[in-house]
Amino acid sequence: MVPILIKIKLMTTAMAGWTAAASPVPMPVEGVATVLGSEVTSPIAVSLFDENEHRTGNIAVWRDGSTDLATKAEVKSLFHCRTTHREKLMAQQTLAMLADIQEHYPGKTIEYVSAYRNSSGESWTSPHRAARALDFRIRGVKLGEIRDYLWTTYTDVGVGWYPSEQFVHIDTRPVEHDMAWTFLNGNNRYHPYWAEKIRTTRPTSVATIDRHAKS
Ligand SMILES: [Zn+2]
């Protein structure tokens, strides 16, 4: 948690710069520079809420999805399998996505309903079994907006829309093709209209997750 404290300290210094700036000049150059610097060199404080166990969690994740040892333990605990209670560290690329989502929706809490799953009923090819997936929603943000942001921002991902259950599934899949689906009436419907439409009309907004995580 030390990096977060450093960030807060830097922010405070910057805010002091704003306060100290001589009126009416609203340009505390040093303060702004400090804030920009801290954004580059500090991890993202990701705010989480476990919908099943009603447990909150705050983890510091760097933009490439890396974390320190203590945070790794916390990540494993937060995202443990609800059925078997086993733990597996979430993939770094998925954590990088999580950090990006938090940065994109500042001040919001990522409310998750499912993460790592390794019960006997879970498919051997499931990204949940590989600890690469998360099912979540963000209170105050339309589910379709989250879905569209993820699908237009990343490649090498799976994005599932679950309108009835009110969550979005994300996973990172470095060796498989992108996949989008809508889950409705008990079935996955692949190549849904929202995925086709978005990537046809806004192709330039598609970026690769490699800008966040290399491994
Ligand atoms: Zn899922």
Ligand 1 centroid–CA 23 distance in Å is: 52
For residue 77, what pLDDT is reported? Answer: 98
Would you state the pLDDT for residue 190?
Answer: 95
What's the 8 CA to ligand 1 centre distance in angstroms? 34
pLDDT computed for residue 213 by the predictor = 43
Residue 204 C-alpha to ligand 1 middle, in angstroms? 27
pLDDT of residue 54: 97
The Å distance, Cα 36 to ligand 1 centre, comes to 35
So what's the pLDDT on residue 38?
52
Amino acid at the residue 189: R
pLDDT along the chain (215 residues), means of 10: 36 38 46 50 95 97 97 98 97 97 97 98 96 97 96 94 98 92 95 84 42 42
* CA 107 to ligand 1 center in whole angstroms: 24
**Residue 159 pLDDT:** 97
Question: Cβ atoms within 10 A of the Cβ of 180, count?
Answer: 22
pLDDT at 198 (0 to 100): 73
Distance from the alpha carbon of residue 69 to the mean position of ligand 1, in angstroms: 26
**Strands annotated E in 146-215:** 157-162, 167-172, 179-184, 187-190
Q: What is the pLDDT of residue 7?
A: 36
- Entry field: residues in the chain: 215
CA distance 53 to 11: 33
How far does residue 52's CA lie from ligand 1's centre (Å)?
15
Taking the CB of residue 110, how many other CB atoms lie within 10 A of it? 19
pLDDT of residue 14: 38
pTM of the complete model = 0.76
Ligand 1 center to 133 CA (angstroms) = 6
pLDDT score recorded for residue 85: 97
CA of 163 to the centre of ligand 1 (A): 13
3-state secondary structure of 100: helix
User: What's the 149 CA to ligand 1 centre distance in angstroms?
Assistant: 17
